[in-house]
């Protein structure tokens, strides 16, 4: 096994791929880290704000900055006498990842309405469904715990704006909601009566 590695490393193809850069490197390598982004200075251009990194490098290590800026200068067209501004040059050089940014869609204003419905479960058993509390910025988990404690029954948050309470509490729940959350007035509460799922 060791002999094949020696043969491969002495072949001319192997030397051509890696060049002579390895032979004149001295170990341990000294790497200069940026004071702004804390990466090696070669990687500063890939950070979100490379201009700050360049300013830091120019201020603290001007000889390294000069060496890097000579290697990174883009080829200018001979026809135009003016150089493009630094911002445009940086803009062209920097790749934009991900295409267009995701645009947050504005929510359509949902009417503030709380609906209460009685849903038959089995034979003479019912559950009470309360929808619309989230439109008043009421925490549904907190409301679910409150209803379970108040009515001494099971309650759960089933949808993003729906609480199911085990039992028929349509008569009492309107008063309880207005008592606990005064921002919900009587005009904003609808009792739908008995509804099938």
Burial per residue of 98-136, b for 16 or more beta-carbon CB atoms within 10 angstroms, e otherwise: eeeeeeeeeeeeeebebbbbbeeeeeeebbbbbbbbbbe
At 12 the pLDDT is: 43
Domains of the chain: 41-71 (no CATH), 114-194 (3.30.780.10)
pLDDT for position 86: 55
For the chain of 197 residues, list the mean pLDDT of each consecutive stretch of 10. Answer: 42 43 74 86 83 88 79 48 54 57 61 88 89 88 92 90 90 89 86 83
Q: 82: buried, middle or exposed (CB in 10 Å: 19+, 13-18, 0-12)? A: exposed
Which pLDDT value is given to residue 99?
Answer: 56
pLDDT of 130 reads: 92
- For the segment 32-74, what is each residue's pLDDT rounded down to a tens digit? 888 888 888 888 888 888 888 888 888 988 888 888 766 555 4
Distance CA 160, CA 196 (A): 20
Tell the burial category of 72 from Cβ atoms under 10 Å away from its Cβ (0-12, 13-18, 19+).
exposed
For residue 81, the model assigns a pLDDT of: 47
């Amino acid at each position: 096994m060791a002999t094949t590695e020696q043969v491969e490393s002495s072949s001319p193809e192997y030397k051509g791929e890696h060049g002579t850069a390895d032979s004149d490197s001295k170990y341990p390598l000294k790497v200069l880290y940026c004071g702004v982004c804390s990466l090696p200075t070669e990687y500063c251009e890939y950070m979100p704000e490379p201009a700050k990194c360049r300013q830091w490098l120019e201020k603290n290590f001007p000889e390294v900055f000069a060496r890097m800026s000579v290697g990174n200068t883009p080829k200018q067209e001979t026809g135009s006498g003016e150089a493009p501004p630094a911002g445009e040059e940086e803009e062209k050089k920097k790749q934009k990842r991900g295409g267009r940014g995701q645009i947050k869609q504005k929510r359509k204003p949902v009417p503030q309405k709380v609906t209460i419905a009685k849903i038959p479960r089995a034979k003479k058993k019912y559950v009470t469904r309360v929808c619309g509390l989230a439109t008043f910025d009421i925490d549904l988990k907190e409301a679910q715990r409150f209803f379970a404690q108040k009515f001494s029954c099971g309650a759960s948050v089933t949808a993003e704006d729906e609480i199911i309470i085990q039992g028929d509490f349509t008569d009492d729940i309107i008063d309880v909601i207005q008592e606990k959350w005064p921002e919900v007035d009587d005009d904003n509460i609808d009792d739908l009566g008995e509804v099938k799922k």
